[in-house]
Amino acid sequence: MANQSMLEAFESSTRVPVDYSYAAFAFIAVGMIGFLLVVVIKDGWARHQNEEMSIGDFMMIIMRAMILFLFALAVFSPTS
């Protein structure tokens, strides 16, 4: 149990058949990442329209996108 991958933990907690577990896991993970990206872009665009955007805010958006990319890389990379 200590060496259990995220996908195996997802399979055991949801009891989704093995054939569909990859698709369900990917659908949920991509949905969460997509939602976070939409929120970040929408917030940044609203601040840009109000001329409240500074270089620090722009760098924060870049950092959030990088963190989301690294999270997606960690989730979808194969584990041994």
Query: Each residue of 29-54: pLDDT tens digit?
Result: 788 888 888 887 887 777 777 877 77
Query: And the tokens for 27?
Result: 């659908």
- Domain ranges (residues) in the chain: 6-76
Distance CA 69, CA 63 (A): 10
Whether the model clears a pTM of 0.75, i.e. scores above it, the answer is no
The 10s digit of each residue's pLDDT in 49-80 is 787 777 777 788 788 888 888 887 777 776 64
For residue 44, give the nearest of 60, 63, 67, 66 by alpha carbon. Answer: 60
Q: Are 40 and 61 in contact (CB under 8 A)?
A: yes
Q: Which amino acid is at 42?
A: K
For the chain, the first-to-last Cα distance in angstroms comes to 14
